[in-house]
Amino acid sequence: MSTRRYSAVLLFGMPGSGKGTQGQLLGKLQGVFHLSTGEIFRSLVDDSDDGHLVSDCIRRGQLVADHLTIEIWKHWLDAHIESGDFRPEEQILLLDGIPRTVRQCELLKDHVNVLQVIYLSVSDTEPIIQRLRQRALIEGRADDADESVIRNRFEVYARETTPILNFYPPALVREIDPMGTPAEVLKRILEPLIPVIATVRGSAGEFGGDEITPDVAE
């Protein structure tokens, strides 16, 4: 198994801040490969040992154990490399939903080189609660339907996940307002992100982001 460290950008924010929406949009960029740990976890079958452990944590609004998270994530990353979906020589890895603890940051250092942290910073959680409950109706996500579970996830995020912002150098953290239309938020993210992608790929001329427009983001 490869021990290579891949160039990565971390999409960071509390549950409901819009990481999934922005990750999907950014994943359409020619120089970006979006890998969502949440989507990986939700795809696991409950009758497997890992799937049972993960689904139980999600239902209770708790975090999956650090080593198990990294193990599952790395397995999927290797599979995407083998299939050719992720091409490290051409693409930057967009991390979504990982790391979620400082310990995960430490474990990830063997696998990725984080070049930037896109921090979707939320000042008022009440609109986020409504956003999550609406998502539960649309996507059928049980972890978003129960407000007590949502608030517990917020508490876990504040206690376990926000210290990640102190793990990375302040110069790498770019704070983004996540409120507004997807197109508006996308535009804010692209401003600091495009130079990072261009640097990794060698020159700005190699970066092909024209396929994402505000119309798509809406």
Could you give the CA distance from residue 58 to residue 62 in angstroms, rounded to a whole number? 6
Does this model's pTM top 0.85? My answer is no
CB neighbours (10 Å) of residue 88? 17
Q: What is the pLDDT of residue 212?
A: 47
Please give the pLDDT value at position 176: 97
Amino acid 152: pLDDT: 87
How far is the C-alpha of 93 from the C-alpha of 77, rounded, in Å? 10
pLDDT, residue 74, reads 93
What are the boundaries of each domain within the chain?
6-205
Below-70 pLDDT ranges, the chain = 1-3, 45-54, 56-61, 136, 140-145, 202-218
Residues 91, 196: Cα–Cα separation, whole Å: 11
Quick one: pLDDT at residue 117?
98
The CATH architecture annotation of domain 6-205 reads: 3-Layer(aba) Sandwich (3.40)
- Report the pLDDT value the prediction gives residue 203, as an integer from 0 to 100: 47
- Whether the CB-CB separation of 26 and 185 falls below 8 Å is answered with no
The pair of structure tokens assigned to 55 is: 């689904």
